[in-house]
Amino acid sequence: MPTGTAAWVVTPAQIAGYAAGRKQEAEGLLASVKATAQDMGIEARTVHVPDARAAAAILETAQQAGCNLIVMASHGRRGVKRLLLGSQTAEVLANSQIPVLVVR
């Protein structure tokens, strides 16, 4: 029986295309959120931090922007589900020097 191997190599063009697609999706989502905020009379700035863990990006961005409050949502998971799924909100709460308001 012949043996063989197959391989797939990701090309730089594919990586660039993937990154561009992620950026486009993020910009569309953030534009929608910003428009909703403006419709509610809320001034909002949006920030896209690619290729970063969410909690770390939130903390760093809040620090750089001089924020005095971080507002986050929580799904309210508890116990094993929280341990298995992780929680970006819990990580921000544990590591933030800025007050954090959690909305559930």
Q: What is the pLDDT of residues 4-43, one digit of tens each?
A: 677 889 999 999 999 999 999 999 999 999 999 999 999 9
Asked if 64 contacts 98 with a C-beta cutoff of 8 angstroms, the reply is no
Domain that holds residue 37: 11-51
Confidence grade of residue 73 (pLDDT, cut at 50, 70, 90):
confident
Residues 39 and 77 in one domain: no
The count of domains in the chain is 2
Residues 35 and 62 in one domain: no
pTM of the model: 0.73
Whether residue 4 is contained in a domain is answered as: no
Cα(35)–Cα(58) distance, integer angstroms? 21
Residues 92 and 67 in one domain: yes
Cα(13)–Cα(42) distance, integer angstroms? 39
**What end-to-end distance do the CA atoms of the chain give, in Å?**
59
Whether residue 93 is contained in a domain is answered as: yes
Cα(30)–Cα(51) distance, integer angstroms? 16
List the alpha helices (DSSP H) in the chain: 12-39, 54-65, 79-85, 88-95
- CATH number of the domain at 67, please: 3.40.50.620
* Percentage of the residues of the chain whose pLDDT score is greater than 70: 87
